Amino acid sequence: MKRVVIIVATIGVLLSSAHAADWNFYGSARVSTFYENVDVLGTDTSRFAMGLQDNSRIGAAVMVSDELSGRFEYGAEDGNADIRYLYGVWNFGAGSLLVGKHEGPLRHPGSDQVYAVDAGLGGWGEMSSPRKAQIKLMIGTFRLALREPSADYNDGTNNVTTDTEVKIPSIEAKYRFEGNNYNLGLSAGYGHFKVGTATQETISSYVLGIGGDMTLGKIILGANLFGGENVGNLVDTDVNDTDTGKGLAQYDGTRVIDNKALAWKIHATYMFNDMVGIHGGYGYMRTELTNQTKDEVQSYYVQVPITLASGVSIVPEIGTLDYMESDQSQTNYIGAKWEINF
């Protein structure tokens, strides 16, 4: 009975709000079907993987007035509903203020890689920013955000957040230049926190990036380059197939060892017509603890996106995810993503 009351109350709230706002609901159903061959130390393991992608979604864009709008979106991570987006935007004339959960300015998208839940080379060379709570100022093509900070570090064995003290949010910014057939973005981010009990040490993170794309007839070319220190606290970083490091500083209780990073990606698209195209990309990322452990990863792929009807697509793709170190995995895959947007 209690559940019924909650459902009825929720419907009542939505109906009452509908008189004051324009609700545009949408959804996206995505299923991946991939055959994978994983090689670790010369031992191959093959399998067929099929499932509902975590980024399948349902949500709504809400327009209250010319000054006030918002959006919410739920995904299907691990088969459970999770909040992908939840934010409001106030347009104050000279610009806009966003409050809520959204991506940060530290991203230069463009790769359409569909493997690993539309990975898009994120963490493998493309500069991508996880969705987090934030307060973001938007003026033209300029973005400045105060974002939920990360206090992760590596204790020499695992990634942990113990005995840390955070006093400021991460600070992230981006400016994008736009031309008739190109766009170019410059981005930067910074954060820091203290770690330790009796004696505290400071771990600082920063990242600088540049990226964009250019359209030449039916061809689209894109690239990005970024680097910094302890970037795993700011951008997606996936340089090994374990949960060790991942672009984070190391602190063993006595000293901090910073983790330097460098990454880049390129991608190209050619559209034969409105239904069929070909797209491919390559990404590389390297992190290195000062004078110590180096981790590298590369990923490359080719796909043929096919649009069957408005909102209906199949994307066959073949590619490789290579963690490059001799004791880590290399995955070769072939398959497709199936998608219907409604």
DSSP calls for 217-233:
TTEEEEEEEEEEESGGG
The whole-number pLDDT of residue 3 equals 43
pLDDT in tens, 33-49: 999 999 999 899 999 99
Question: In angstroms, rounded to a whole number, what is the distance separating the alpha carbons of residues 183 and 164?
Answer: 39
Helix (H, G, I), strand (E, B) or coil at 311: coil
Looking at the predicted structure, is the pLDDT value of residue 169 above 80?
Answer: yes
234: CB partners within 8 A, 6+ apart:
106, 129, 150, 170, 172, 189, 191, 205, 206, 207, 228
- What does the block give as tokens for 5? 């009351």
The whole-number pLDDT of residue 16 equals 53
The whole-number pLDDT of residue 11 equals 42
Q: Answer for the pair 229, 205: CB distance below 8 angstroms, yes or no.
A: yes
The whole-number pLDDT of residue 199 equals 86
Q: What is the torsion angle, in degrees rounded to the nearest 10, for the CA atoms of residue 323, residue 329, residue 333 and residue 339?
A: -70
Looking at the predicted structure, is the pLDDT value of residue 245 above 90?
Answer: no
**Average pLDDT score over residue span 95-104:** 98
Name the pLDDT band for 80 (thresholds 50, 70, 90): confident
277-289 and 201-216 beta bridge pairing? unpaired
Question: In angstroms, rounded to a whole number, what is the distance separating the alpha carbons of residues 333 and 322?
Answer: 11
Looking at per-residue pLDDT, the higher value among 14 and 7 belongs to 14
Residue for token pair 């610009």? 95
Q: In what order do the strands lie in the sheet with 153-154?
A: 159-160, 153-154, 250-251, 256-257
The whole-number pLDDT of residue 6 equals 41
Name the pLDDT band for 19 (thresholds 50, 70, 90): low
- What does the block give as tokens for 103? 């991506």
pLDDT in tens, 184-203: 999 999 999 999 988 899 99
Looking at the predicted structure, is the pLDDT value of residue 5 above 80?
Answer: no
pLDDT in tens, 255-306: 999 999 999 999 999 999 999 999 999 999 999 997 778 999 999 999 999 9
The whole-number pLDDT of residue 81 equals 87
pTM of the predicted protein model: 0.91
**Average pLDDT score over residue span 199-223:** 97
Backbone dihedral angles phi then psi of residue 6, each to the nearest 5 degrees: -65, -45
Query: Among 338, 335, 334, 336, which residue's Cα sits nearest to residue 313?
Result: 338
The whole-number pLDDT of residue 1 equals 42
How far is CA 106 from its chain centroid? Answer: 10
Looking at the predicted structure, is the pLDDT value of residue 103 above 70?
Answer: yes
The whole-number pLDDT of residue 2 equals 46
Q: If one looks up domain 27-49+120-127+149-341 in CATH, what number appears? A: 2.40.160.10
